[in-house]
Chain A
Amino acid sequence: MWPIMLIVFGFIFGVSTGYRVVHKKIVPFVRFVERTDREKTLEEHRIHLDETTKCSICGDNVTIENIGAVVPVKGDHVFICSKSQCMTVSDILTPITRIIEEKARE
């Protein structure tokens, strides 16, 4: 009796774990950073801004003065400037889900 129950339990646990691994829900983690803490936060996350750092929406150069958001994607970072249009249209909640879907299509 006990071995059968262990096997059944193990099977159910394995299937549910497999399902959860394949259909993992993504929970975005958002940090609101005050203007005075910009430099400290960027240093903490080892993010460096230079002339090649461009806003992914409008293409403008992103500096410490006009940085609006930083979204980690695929081991890299996507930068968004503080212009209201760029901040409004940027998808920060689901970029990772979209990349997973695009990869699944490939």
Chain B
Amino acid sequence: MIEWIVGILTIIAFLFGFLSAIIKWGQDANLEKYYRDTVVKTVTKPAYLPEAIVEIPNEIIVDSREKFSPLRTYLKRRLAQILGKEVPPVILIFGQYSDEERKAFLIEKAFASSVESRLLDLDFLESLIHYLAYKCVHESEEIEEEVRTIVRKYFENSKYRDCLVRLDSVDFSEKVVLNPPPVKRPLLTNVILPMVREKEKSLLQTNALIPEMEKWKSLFMNLVNSMCSEKCAVLFIGVRPDLEYVDMLENGLARGAHLIISARGPYIETMLRVIQVCWLSEPSKLAQSCERDDVFGLWEFPDEDKTACHWVIFSKLKF
């Protein structure tokens, strides 16, 4: 009896060990581990994107038809399903990718999923993905030199390379922001991406039609271009007296083509009051010469509470 039990346990242990070895064997397993341990860990660091924008799967299954792949893939799918995960049908990627190119591809795909937006131009979106991937690999010690070289090459050839470097610079943000807050963050992650993301969410919720999506896309791209050329000012509303903000608002409008006013939580009321004062003043700069667009949303940054956020964009009609 005992021999039977020991024999069965040995067979089960052998099978388990064999199947476990199959699952962990090969380039596919290395790529999956790379995605899980390196890509997800580095892409979801708060330095790259606000928390609200990052949503990528924690793991993937890879199959490149090497030895044992069909058995490996079958086992991984069954295991995932037993653990309550859903494995959709296979995504096919065609092309001659080396191992390093596959790793660079996965890093870029992680950022593509995070920043995918219908409200940004394709050229800008492509450059943004290349830039975020480049920034990620540049600062990470875990990523190999060959992968960094590939990602750097993609970034160096992007159209909005210089614009993105400026928008992601804290020093540049001090030139554009009329009243820099105590915690300085770059305009890309502090203003542009959260605004685009929240507007897209609200347009999808209201089933907005294509013309409206295109209108917002055009506005955001105009904002990006005018911000890069320092023709856009940003004003953050906080604890100062209303009249100070009224002065800053008028100075901001005089500066260039656009003014973005941003307020969070209890300061939204202050912002609306300040805008109302400017709107009603004579001669009314806002009423006569500017178009107003509003974006509402949630502010989600690490180490900060989730709060409501309101951005008001003033675009000069003739500039």
- Whether chains A and B associate is yes
Binding site for B on A (CB under 8 A): 17, 20-21, 24-35, 37-38, 41, 45, 57-58, 67-72, 82, 84-85, 88-94, 96-98, 102, 105
Q: Which residues of B contact A89 (CB under 8 A)?
A: 112, 116, 122, 125-126, 129
Query: Does B162 reach chain A (CB closer than 8 Å)?
Result: no
Q: B93–A72 contact, CB under 8 A?
A: no
Q: How many residues of B contact A (CB 8 A)?
A: 44
Given that A72-B90, A93-B57, A93-B109 are known contacts, is A31 also in contact with B84, CB under 8 Å in the complex?
A: no
Option from B59, B95, B113 in Cβ contact (under 8 Å) with A94: B113
Which one of B89, B95, B123 contacts A72 once the chains associate, using CB atoms below 8 Å?
A: B89
23 contacts between A and B (CB under 8 A): A20-B84, A24-B84, A25-B57, A26-B88, A28-B60, A28-B91, A33-B94, A41-B92, A68-B95, A69-B92, A69-B94, A70-B91, A70-B94, A82-B94, A85-B123, A89-B112, A89-B122, A90-B112, A91-B109, A91-B112, A91-B113, A92-B109, A102-B204
Please, which residue of chain A has its CB at the minimum distance from the CB of B207? Answer: A106
A28 near B94: Cβ-Cβ < 8 Å: no
Q: How many angstroms between the C-alpha atoms of A25 and B81 in the bound complex?
A: 10
A96 to B116, alpha carbons, bound, how many Å? 13
Which chain B residue has the least Cβ–Cβ distance from A33? Answer: B94
Find chain B residues with CB under 8 A from A72 CB. Answer: 88-91
Report the nearest B residue to A67, measured CB to CB.
B94
- Whether the pair A35, B80 counts as a contact (CB closer than 8 A) is no
Which among A21, A26, A57, A70 is the interface contact of B92 at CB below 8 angstroms?
A70
Asked whether, in the complex, the Cβ of A93 is within 8 Å of the Cβ of B60, the reply is yes
Give Cα A38 to B108, complex, Å: 23
